[in-house]
């Protein structure tokens, strides 16, 4: 490992904003240096408290995250925000979003905000987000807030990464909310009824309570339900206090440890898969082989399984000669 990587790691440990930004870009770009860097800072991680914030579009996640970050900042903590936005690869919208949101915190080096794009054909969003969280962790952020849209496989992975997961709901959000709620039930440590000045909040809370009655208690925790109006900063302090209670009771219990181990189990598998595929399609040769095989399969000239056997034979060959 080169001296420059160690210097870079040292800047990250010191919380240097540019070094952190550069590291995140390297992770997103699948720059090989990122791996060296992550390996180097790994022993300095595991200290941040990671809060996942999820909910459908329109539930006000960004505003709530901003307010919660400001609250923690006000308590003297350093805060990192990772906004995972699956729409960004198409729009560049993430960057614009950063700029707008940064304005509120621009003069404060204690809050670091980064929106994630889903770049690259491998690795996936959850993987990248996990690596970015490690960087912020090493950079000394006491709180890392990870904001994700909706529920999907990526979200589930991101939730495994979080120490505490908030699920946002809003009164009167249309037909499918019933379904969404059921799916979110299992991942929520705390439910946040945002925009709670809207009509229907009583009914929503009653429905949620009824569902929670039926759900099995997880490790003695019944998800708390809190009301907020993030745009008016209402309920944010109470929310922070509920998070603190959760942390106190579950921050280091066995179930929490198991969740972290689960998280690492899938991270390791994903990393291993990525490493193998890098070998299989490494170099211009590899890309050409993959392209040829994809064309053969698309034209039904070869079945996918035969094509995969060819790819893997390539990977084994590359590894042997490496």
Residues 25-84 that bind its own copies (CB under 8 A): 35, 38-39, 42-43, 45-46, 56-58, 60
C-beta of 48 vs 118, nearer to its own copies: 118
153 is an interface residue for its own copies by CB under 8 A: yes
261 is an interface residue for its own copies by CB under 8 A: yes
Question: Virtual CA dihedral for 127, 163, 237, 141, nearest 10 degrees?
Answer: -60
Distance (Å, whole) CA 97 – CA 85: 10
- x/- map, 181-220, its own copies, by CB under 8 A: -xxxxxx---------------------------------
C-beta of 175 vs 217, nearer to its own copies: 175
Sheet harboring 190-193: ordered strands across? 111-116, 79-84, 143-149, 49-55, 164-169, 190-193, 224-227
Nearest-5° angle of CA 230, CA 232, CA 234? Answer: 65
Distance (Å, whole) CA 129 – CA 116: 7
Choice from 150, 207, 221, 282 touching its own copies (CB under 8 A): 150
Choice from 133, 146, 173, 226 touching its own copies (CB under 8 A): 173
Stretch that binds its own copies, among 3-11, 18-26, 235-243, 305-313 (CB under 8 A): 305-313
180 is an interface residue for its own copies by CB under 8 A: yes
Residues whose CB falls within 8 Å of the CB of residue 109, separated by 6 or more in sequence, listed in order: 15, 17
Stretch that binds its own copies, among 221-229, 234-242, 247-255, 269-277 (CB under 8 A): 269-277
Stretch that binds its own copies, among 135-143, 199-207, 218-226, 292-300 (CB under 8 A): 292-300
Choice from 76, 214, 300, 321 touching its own copies (CB under 8 A): 300
CB of 315 to its own copies, least distance (A): 7
Stretch that binds its own copies, among 9-17, 103-111, 138-146, 263-271 (CB under 8 A): 263-271
Residue from 320, 322, 314, 321 nearest 277 by CA: 314
C-beta of 202 vs 291, nearer to its own copies: 291
305 is an interface residue for its own copies by CB under 8 A: yes
Stretch that binds its own copies, among 10-18, 177-185, 201-209, 246-254 (CB under 8 A): 177-185
87 is an interface residue for its own copies by CB under 8 A: yes
Stretch that binds its own copies, among 11-19, 106-114, 219-227, 287-295 (CB under 8 A): 287-295
CB of 235 to its own copies, least distance (A): 18
CB of 272 to its own copies, least distance (A): 5
C-beta of 72 vs 148, nearer to its own copies: 148
């Amino acid at each position: 490992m080169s001296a420059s990587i160690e210097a870079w790691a040292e800047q990250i440990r010191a919380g240097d904003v540019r070094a952190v930004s550069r590291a995140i870009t390297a992770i997103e770009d699948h720059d090989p240096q990122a791996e060296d860097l992550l390996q180097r800072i790994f022993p300095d991680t595991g200290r941040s408290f990671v809060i996942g914030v999820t909910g459908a579009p329109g539930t006000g996640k960004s505003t709530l995250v901003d307010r919660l970050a400001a609250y923690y900042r006000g308590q003297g903590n350093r805060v990192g925000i990772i906004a995972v936005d699956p729409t960004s690869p198409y729009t560049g919208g993430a960057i614009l979003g950063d700029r707008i949101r940064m304005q509120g915190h621009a003069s404060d080096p204690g809050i670091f905000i980064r929106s994630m794009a889903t770049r690259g054909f491998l690795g996936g969003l959850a993987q990248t987000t996990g690596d970015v969280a490690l960087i912020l962790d090493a950079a000394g952020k006491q709180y890392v807030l990870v904001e994700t849209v909706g529920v999907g496989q990526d979200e589930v992975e991101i939730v495994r990464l979080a120490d505490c997961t908030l699920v946002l709901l809003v009164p009167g959000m249309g037909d499918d909310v019933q379904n969404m709620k059921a799916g979110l039930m299992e991942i929520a440590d705390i439910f946040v009824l945002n925009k709670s000045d809207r009509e229907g909040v009583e009914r929503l809370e009653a429905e949620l309570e009824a569902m929670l009655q039926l759900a099995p208690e997880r490790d003695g925790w019944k998800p708390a339900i809190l009301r907020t109006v993030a745009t008016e900063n209402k309920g944010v302090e109470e929310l922070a206090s509920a998070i603190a209670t959760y942390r106190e009771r579950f921050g280091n219990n066995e179930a929490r440890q198991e969740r972290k181990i689960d998280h690492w189990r899938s991270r390791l598998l994903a990393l291993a898969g990525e490493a193998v595929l890098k070998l299989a399609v490494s170099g211009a040769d590899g890309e050409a082989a993959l392209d040829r095989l994809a064309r053969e399969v698309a034209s039904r000239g070869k079945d996918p399984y035969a094509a995969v056997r060819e790819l893997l034979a390539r990977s084994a060959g590359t590894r042997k000669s490496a």
